[in-house]
Amino acid sequence: EESLQMWDLNKRLEAYLARVKFLEEENEVLRAEIQSARSSPAGDSWRARYEEELRALRDALDHAFREKCSAELARDNLYEEVQQVKSRCQKEQAAREEAKKQLSLSRKELEEERRAQIWLKERAVQLEKEVEALLEVHEEEKAGLDQEIASFSQSLESFRCAPVAFQPVEVEDYSKRLSEIWKGAVETYKTEVSQLEGSLCQAKENLWKAVEDNQQSQLQLQHLEKDLAGLKARKEMLEESLARQWQEQRGEAEKFQLAMEALEQEKQSLRAQIAQVLEDRQQLMHLKMSLSLEVATYRTLLEAESTRLQMPAG
């Protein structure tokens, strides 16, 4: 039974010794690599490589942070530009509303001028009718006066033929009165005709002024419509440029976010790899210490067993 235990212990000892030998060879190889790395200035150790990688990652992170800051500044600038564009759009909207108000006022003035033009036309027609009526009345009065003069001349002829019953002074007074009445009627007719002609000329002038004002209002309306169309086109162009800049900014922000996430994942993976390497190295150190302790224990046991076996022989 003791021989079987010793045989089992020997087998385990051989396995541990082989493991220790393998680990010592690995340690020698690692020591040689460390010595060669220390002796050769061009060679870089794993720590230097990892530090360099970490430095590169820090630089990349700083570069990404700077790009993020620049993107935020560009975003703020774009936001300010958007606010300016909005204010311009509001101003253009107010200008358009003002133009609409002016257009409505111009239309109202145009309607009023049209109504005034129609009224002036109707007034001119009415004045023409009144002039015609006055001319007819004048003709009738003239015909009546001609008839009265003819009858008066006949009466004078009869007075000449008949014996004179009236005094010549009364006849002269009657003729003077008739001539004065005739002159007053002619002057009244002339004044009425001149007044009608003046009112007709004034109506024509008002009509021409209304036509000219109507043409100017139409021209102003056309200019306002052109300005309104230009403002609409400018607003559409500004909205399209704003949407395009917003899309570009969103795309750039998404790209920066993806780059930051990729760098963060790479950083985490590198940290995990470094931790795994350190943990493996720590486990190797613990395993080496346990194996060295076990080898020392077996060595002590073997020495004690050899001394125990050698004592009866001595």
User: Are residues 9 and 142 located together in one domain of the fold?
Assistant: no
Spatial contact of 301 and 26, defined as CB atoms under 8 Å apart: no
Residue 129 has pLDDT above 80, yes or no: yes
User: Are residues 18 and 127 located together in one domain of the fold?
Assistant: no
Tally of domains in the chain: 2
User: Are residues 114 and 140 located together in one domain of the fold?
Assistant: yes
Residue with tokens 């224990």: 297
User: Are residues 89 and 197 located together in one domain of the fold?
Assistant: yes
d(CA 44, CA 239): 57
Give the tokens for residue 141: 């009065």
In-domain check, residue 170: no
pLDDT of res. 123: 75
- Sequential DSSP letters for 27-90: HHHHHHHHHHHHH-SS---HHHHHHHHHHHHHHHHHHHHHHHHHHHHHHHHHHHHHHHHHHHHH
User: Are residues 145 and 191 located together in one domain of the fold?
Assistant: yes
CA 46, chain centre distance (Å):
55
Provide CB contacts within 8 A for 221, sequence distance 6+: 103, 106, 107, 110
User: Are residues 203 and 99 located together in one domain of the fold?
Assistant: yes
Q: Of 6-10, 206-210, 272-276, where does mean pLDDT reach its minimum?
A: 206-210
pLDDT of res. 44: 54
Give the tokens for residue 115: 């109504």
Question: What pLDDT band is residue 166 in, cutting at 50, 70 and 90?
Answer: very low
Long-range contacts of 10-16 (CB under 8 A, 24+ apart): 12/298, 13/295, 13/298, 13/302, 16/291, 16/294, 16/295, 16/298
Spatial contact of 291 and 19, defined as CB atoms under 8 Å apart: yes
In-domain check, residue 291: yes
Helix-strand-coil split of the chain, %, nearest 5: 95, 0, 5
Provide CB contacts within 8 A for 193, sequence distance 6+: 131, 134
d(CA 75, CA 72): 5
Domain hosting residue 32, numbered range: 1-39
User: Are residues 97 and 23 located together in one domain of the fold?
Assistant: no
Provide CB contacts within 8 A for 75, sequence distance 6+: 249, 253
pLDDT of res. 249: 81
In-domain check, residue 171: no
User: Are residues 85 and 35 located together in one domain of the fold?
Assistant: no
In-domain check, residue 76: yes
pTM over 0.85: no
User: Are residues 67 and 117 located together in one domain of the fold?
Assistant: yes
The phi and psi torsions of 164 (rounded to 5 degrees) equal -75, 120
User: Are residues 8 and 76 located together in one domain of the fold?
Assistant: no
Question: What pLDDT band is residue 164 in, cutting at 50, 70 and 90?
Answer: very low
User: Are residues 32 and 140 located together in one domain of the fold?
Assistant: no
User: Are residues 34 and 54 located together in one domain of the fold?
Assistant: no
Mean per-residue pLDDT, 29-53: 70
